[in-house]
Amino acid sequence: MRRKKSSAGTTLLLAIFLIIIGGAIYLANSPMFERNAPTIEVADRLYWNLKKPINVVLKDDSGIRHYRVILNDGKSDFVVAESEFESPMKSVEVPVSLPRAGWDRRATHAMMRVETTDASRWNLFKGNHATKTVQLTIDAVKPSAYILANSYKITQGGSALVVFSAKDEHLKDVVIHTNFGKTFKAEPFYKPGYYAALIAWPVTESTFRAWVEATDLANNVTKVHIPLYLKNYRYRRSNITLKDRFLQGKIADLASQFDETANISDPLERFKIINEEIRAKNEALIHKLSENVSDQLIHSWSVKPFYPLKNGKKVASFGDHRFYYYDGKHVSESYHLGLDLASVKMAQVRSSNPGRVVFAGDNGIYGNMPLIDHGLGLYTLYGHCSTLYVAEGDTVMKKEVIAKTGRTGLALGDHLHFGVLVQGVEVRPIEWMDAHWIKDNITNVFEMARRMIDRRENH
């Protein structure tokens, strides 16, 4: 009997033990008793202009039960947001604004403390708790920005220079925006707080407007209009009839080189793909490579007129809008975004100014093509070359021979396609080949800006 009672007692104790262990395991894994503290999504340090509330996001799997936000101006605590939820929420957005009264408006630094508790039954049903402290720098003052000097005018398809000042203790970004969506980067110039930028009016845009935009870390923004006289230009429109000899010759040869046209047998479809899709692909590469601008301060910048081909004769103009027809029907269209020059076959091509080669190789319809960075966002392009004497990464000197003319890519005869780009925008090469234009629009603007900076900084 004693053995039976002892055995029954042991079994009961074991059952109780297993129940306790099972209960503990259940509680440890039950969502009701989750042990993860709520997350508080907000940066550790913020710059605040006081215009917009600070957005704090609270998240928790079991749901947010309570939160409180406290601001301190260095003297007093202010509870600016607090809430208790009967039905816990897994995600809560809390907009934080200044208290309506009592806050020291002269305070430039403050502290924000966020406290929150979730709906978990853990911690003796008190839930999990999280706290985060955020350091605030209060800055409601816009950056100082003004134009020092700029080119007098800009021509449709052309370039201009602007030099300006942008200063702020917490300056974050300085750019030039335009009405057509292009953003131009500015390069630090001469002394801290001053910037220079070449800007461009694309040939395809009928209007132009540009402004400097300076933004600080608190997102205060200052905008300054660049006062340029605008000169529209009527570029040539060319109606070109496609010949079978051209379609079966040059286009057929090119079509065999591209994946997009390798299996296309229709001559007009091949031409359309090459003139539109392949051209867009090649130009996208050019634009990407020519968008870069240094963020290092430059004390001076100058260029001499570009004269890449000795005794070169113009055979095609920049900005020519070409419409292609076959049997009287419109097939395709494109813009010619360079200046075509020709002299003798395989003539030497020279870089008129020093620079760094950012590309040298085959680029589809442009054929063998060097692309050179001359600084300040100015790039020159040399298309259809037969031979290249430079490679990517090379530094070229003034008057150095970089290539020989040819007929690679979409070229019928031996010539040079000379292109000029400003931060990825094709511009009028004729401006950069004109010593008077360079003096009036670049050299003189820099000289005026330097004099003004010296006067301002020395007083």
| Percent of the chain residues past pLDDT 70, beyond the cut | 93
Question: How would residue 330 be classed by pLDDT, with cut points 50, 70 and 90?
Answer: very high
pLDDT digits (tens, 9 = 90+) for 370-425: 999 999 999 999 999 999 999 999 999 999 999 999 999 999 999 999 999 999 99
Q: Give the per-residue pLDDT at 93.
A: 96
Where are the domain boundaries for CATH 2.70.70.10 in the chain? 237-427
Output the pTM of the full model.
0.87
Q: Judge: domain 39-138, CATH 2.70.50.50.
A: yes
Nearest to 210 by CA among 422, 446, 49, 372: 422
Where are the domain boundaries for CATH 2.70.50.50 in the chain? 39-138
Q: Give the per-residue pLDDT at 320.
A: 97
Distance CA 319, CA 426 (A): 9
Where are the domain boundaries for CATH 2.60.40.10 in the chain? 144-233+443-458
Report whether pLDDT(80) > 60: yes
Question: How would residue 18 be classed by pLDDT, with cut points 50, 70 and 90?
Answer: low
CA distances from 400 to 34, 211, 353, 391 (A): 72, 37, 9, 13
CA distances from 385 to 205, 339, 406 (A): 30, 14, 4
**Cα 319 from chain centroid?**
26
Report whether pLDDT(1) > 60: no
Tell me what the pLDDT averaged over the chain comes to. Answer: 92
Nearest to 80 by CA among 50, 108, 43: 50
Report whether pLDDT(32) > 80: no
Question: How would residue 81 be classed by pLDDT, with cut points 50, 70 and 90?
Answer: very high
Q: Give the per-residue pLDDT at 183.
A: 98
Instruction: Determine the topology of domain 237-427 in CATH.
Output: Glucose Permease (Domain IIA) (2.70.70)
Question: How would residue 6 be classed by pLDDT, with cut points 50, 70 and 90?
Answer: low
Report whether pLDDT(24) > 60: no
Instruction: Determine the topology of domain 144-233+443-458 in CATH.
Output: Immunoglobulin-like (2.60.40)
Distance CA 148, CA 226 (A): 10
Strands 378-383 and 109-118: unpaired
Q: Give the per-residue pLDDT at 100.
A: 87
Measured from the Cβ of residue 57, the count of other Cβ atoms closer than 10 Å reads 12
pLDDT digits (tens, 9 = 90+) for 137-147: 999 999 999 99
Mean pLDDT value of segment 424-451: 98
Q: Which of 152-156, 225-229, 312-316, 357-361 has the lowest mean pLDDT?
A: 312-316
Nearest to 128 by CA among 119, 140, 138, 141: 119
Q: Give the per-residue pLDDT at 83.
A: 93
Q: Give the per-residue pLDDT at 119.
A: 87
Vertex 261: Cα angle to 259 and 263 (nearest 5): 90
**What does residue 25 show for φ and ψ, rounded to 5 degrees?**
-65, -40
Helix (H) or strand (E) holding 454: helix 444-457
Q: Give the per-residue pLDDT at 159.
A: 98
| Cβ atoms 368, 414 nearer than 8 A | no
pLDDT digits (tens, 9 = 90+) for 111-131: 999 999 988 877 776 789 999
**What does residue 320 show for φ and ψ, rounded to 5 degrees?**
-60, 120
Mean pLDDT value of segment 59-65: 91
DSSP 8-state class, residue 179? T
Nearest to 384 by CA among 358, 359, 413, 422: 413
Bridge partner residues of 349 (DSSP): 403
Structure-model confidence comparison of residues 16 and 394, the more confident one: 394
